[in-house]
Amino acid sequence: MEPGAWADWVNAVGTFLTFGGAVFAGVVAFRSYRTQRAAMDRQLTRYAEEERRRHDEQRSNQASRVAFWIYRGRYRWYVNGANTSGLPVFRLVLRVYCDDPEFSVAVERGTQGPDDSGRSRKLSNALETVLAERGALDVDPAGVHIDIAFTDAAGVRWLRTEDGRLRIVDDSFMFPDVEERLVDRLVPVRTDEQ
């Protein structure tokens, strides 16, 4: 072989190795890019989930501090409630329902200001009136249930069921299938003490 041919061969092999090295570097760079891209996608997904969770917590912050429940004392029934959010809630409606005798009544409260846990005289009166009219004053307290719907200060409508679950409902939500709708302040005060 002539010296010029050797130089051509060495040059060709060098070119081939350089080309192979460039292809290998390109493959490594592409895989590295895909790995980094997948890591960034996972990080962005985690960030979006945390942001959504934070938003949901902020959104439900006031609603999670509003609750009403029924209590039967020795001689009377009471509605206890709390709005410890520091802001009023609006369009508050309590749905009182019973298994035996079966009934479902909505009691509208309107606006409920922020307050600590305590008895509501007007709601307790409405509850006792409803129970008396339906012959249910002496039923087992476990058979009388209460759900509430209200609008928070941000204009979001919420439903809290008797088991404490809280969820967003449509702004036009009113309890369906209730036999009667009352306004707590318009229910005549019961005079017969039992």
Domain boundaries, the chain: 1-60, 65-186
The mean predicted confidence, pLDDT, of the chain is 88
Q: Confidence class of residue 194 from pLDDT cuts 50, 70 and 90? A: very low
pTM listed for this prediction: 0.70
Q: What is the pLDDT of residues 118-140, one digit of tens each?
A: 888 899 999 999 999 999 999 99
As a residue count, the chain comes to 194
The CATH classification number of 65-186 equals 2.60.40
Mean per-residue pLDDT for 150-156?
A: 93
Q: What are phi and psi of 192, to 5 degrees?
A: -85, 110
CA-CA-CA-CA dihedral for 122, 176, 71, 80, to nearest 10: -50
For residue 182, what is the DSSP state?
E
| Phi (first) and psi of residue 46, to 5 degrees | -60, -45
Residues 186 and 110 sit within 8 Å (Cβ to Cβ) = no
